[in-house]
Every structure is written in C-alpha cells, then in structure tokens.
Amino acid sequence: MSGRYLNQIRTGGEVKQQLREIMYDVAEQFDVQAAVDPRPVPHITLFGSYDTDQGRTVKQRLIEIFEGFDAVPYRIDGFDVFRDLNVVYFDVISSEELRSLRRAISRELRSICHGYPEHDTNYFHDFHITLAFKDIGGQLDEILEYAQTQYDPQFDCYATRVTSLDGRSIMWEYDIPKGKYLKSIMRPLLKHRSRQRKHLKHTRHLMTTTILLHHLVGFKESVPGGRHDSPANGEERVLYNSICKDQTDSCGGEPALAVSRRRLDQPTSGCCSTSGFRLTHSRGLPQASGLA
C-alpha cells in the first residue's frame, strides 16, 4: 500500500477477540509477524489505501454515503488464499448492503483521490480479513491447512462502525446503526504527546548547550551593551560563537543562556544582561537540580 488514507470496517467484541487469538497462534506457529505487528486489527478494507488533497470533500461524501445505510450485515466463514498475492485470509461472505456500500465509496472517491489500488475500480470485490501476508514466504499452503484444521470461524456480524484512518491513526468513525459521526479520541492525544516529545528534545538541547558554553568559557561581569567575553582560544571561540548564533536563532533572538536559565530549578553560573537579569558563576560545569 502506497497511499496514506484508508477506509475499513473493524470487527468488535467477542468476534474480534477470537480472530485475534487465531492470528496470534498462526503468527507464533509459522513465525509470521506482519499481520500482528504491532497488534492485530481484524478488519475489512472498503477503499484504499489512497492519497488526496481534498480531505474535506472526501469526508463529506463518505458521511453522505453512510447516512444512507441502517445496517450492513456480513458473515465470516472459514479461510481462503490469494495465491498471486501470497495472502491467507478469513473469508467474508458479503451481503447486498456491504457490496452497495463499497461500490458507493469507490464511485464517489475515485474522482477526488489518487494512488488507490487497481482493484478498487472493480465492480465485484473479494471481501476478506487478512490472517497472514507479506512475510509468509513459501508457507502459504501450510498456513491454510493449519488454520482449516485447527479452527472453523463462523460468525454472523454487522458493520457497526466504518473507520477512516491516516496511516495507523484513526481520524474519525461513523456509527451506522446510530447514524452518528464520531471524532477520534486518540488523535488529539497522539498530537499532544508528539508536541511533548519535541518540547522535551528541544529543552534537553538547550540545557546541553548551556553546559557546553559554561565549559568553554567562564563568564566575566557583563559590560554595558549586554556583551559577555568569548573564549580566548581560537578554536573554542569559533565553536562558542557558532553555538550562540544557532541558539539565538532557534530561540527567536533571545540568547540560549537566558532561555535555559528559566528552565533550571536552581540558578546556574554566568551572566547575560541582555535578558534583564544576572547570573553569578564560577568556572567549570554548572550545578543544577533536576538534570539527569
């Protein structure tokens, strides 16, 4: 799959748990991890993966399609394979509603999306839930025989929710029985965690720079105009000036020492009159609490 977005039906409840157990067992027996890494998510793909620069229109069209359905039944019935793709799957017997849903999605999205698989243009479709793929090598028939010998999945199901994904992240879902659009709870949380990681990385970089600056030079009392002495040694002076310029740029024009000073629990050494306060210092590495 080369596209970014994906629309799928995910199984739920007891059915999901039983399918997961089968997927984990097959993965362990045959050392095939692609379908269970990082965790198995039994699902029926409806369209994609695909790319688009008209995300709002895609969303609007999908919701309009989903609003036309009250129930979408299907049946999981045994196992089968796609030999040309080297895939073992749970066979899905589609209902007229499921076939109509997929055809409507394909018809409405193809004109505003690109990069989708060729089979998404087909009128007929082999609905399935992947059991093992990608890393199964020459074990296709062995996996199929094992699955058919050990298990006999027979489940009558309903597509309660249709999920829209950006990669592995859920963007939003639509609850078909309730006729309700659902925002993703996890997506804002994942964005928040990503911002936290970036902030922590930047803070650590500032603190590391501060320690390096203190190691390169023992600051003297600041002179009028807010300047502080740079190292006398030529190589150290070049490094010192480079660090100061880099950190001043990254902090919006404020010296790195002024920024990092506010992030330490205890005063460090040195001085910087440009920030409006003074730091007392001694040569060598600063001692600050809360630093690992």
Q: Are 262 and 251 in contact (CB under 8 A)?
A: no
Distances (CA, A) of 180 to 69, 162, 173, 273: 11, 11, 9, 59
Tell me: do 120 and 169 sit in the same domain: yes
Tens-place pLDDT, residues 207-248: 777 776 666 555 444 444 545 555 555 555 555 566 565 555
pLDDT for res 40: 95
What average pLDDT does the chain have?
Answer: 80
Which has more confidence, 212 or 194? Answer: 212
pLDDT at 261 over 60: no
Same domain (yes/no): 81, 150: yes
Instruction: Examine the domain organization and report whether 262 and 211 are in the same domain.
Output: yes
- Three-state DSSP class for 254? coil
**Per-residue pLDDT tens digits for 29-73:** 999 999 999 999 999 999 999 999 999 999 999 999 999 999 999
Q: What percent of the chain has pLDDT over 90?
A: 61
- Picking from 253, 229, 250, the residue whose alpha carbon sits closest to that of residue 241 is 229
> Residue 29: what pLDDT?
97
Q: How many CB atoms lie within 10 A of CB 267?
A: 15
What region does 191 belong to: left with phi over 0, alpha with psi -120 to 50, or beta?
alpha
pLDDT by residue (tens digit) across 132-177? 999 999 999 999 999 999 999 999 999 999 999 999 899 999 999 9
Beta strands in 85-141 (DSSP E): 87-94, 128-132
Domain with residue 152: its CATH number is 3.90.1140.10
Q: What is the pLDDT of residue 292?
A: 40
Residue 289 lies in a domain: no
Instruction: Name the more confident of 273 and 127.
Output: 127
Burial class (CB in 10 A: 0-12, 13-18, 19+), 263: middle
The CA-CA-CA angle for residues 63, 122, 145, to 5°, reads 100
Task: Quote the CA–CA distance of 242 and 217 in Å, as a whole number.
Answer: 14
Contact 271, 278 (CB under 8 A): yes
For residue 187, give both structure tokens: 């997506």
Q: What's the confidence (pLDDT) of residue 26?
A: 98
Question: What integer pLDDT is reported at residue 247 of this predicted model?
Answer: 56
- Gap between the Cα atoms of 54 and 238, Å rounded: 49
Residues 168 and 211 in one domain: no
Q: Which helix (H) or strand (E) holds 180?
A: strand 180-183
Contact 44, 129 (CB under 8 A): yes
What is the reported pTM? Answer: 0.65
Q: At what angle do helices 186-216 and 234-250 cross, to 10 degrees?
A: 150
Residue 113 lies in a domain: yes
Q: Residue 57: left if φ>0, alpha if ψ -120 to 50, beta else—which one?
A: alpha
Range of the domain at 251: 193-275
Among 167, 184, 201, the domain-final residue is: 184
Domain boundary among 184, 207, 231: 184
pLDDT band with cut points at 50, 70 and 90 for residue 264: very low
Same domain, 145 and 247: no
- Residue 281: inside a domain: no
Domain-terminating residue out of 137, 155, 184? 184
Provide the pLDDT for residue 23: 98
Same domain for 65 and 166? yes
Q: Residue 190 above 70 pLDDT?
A: no
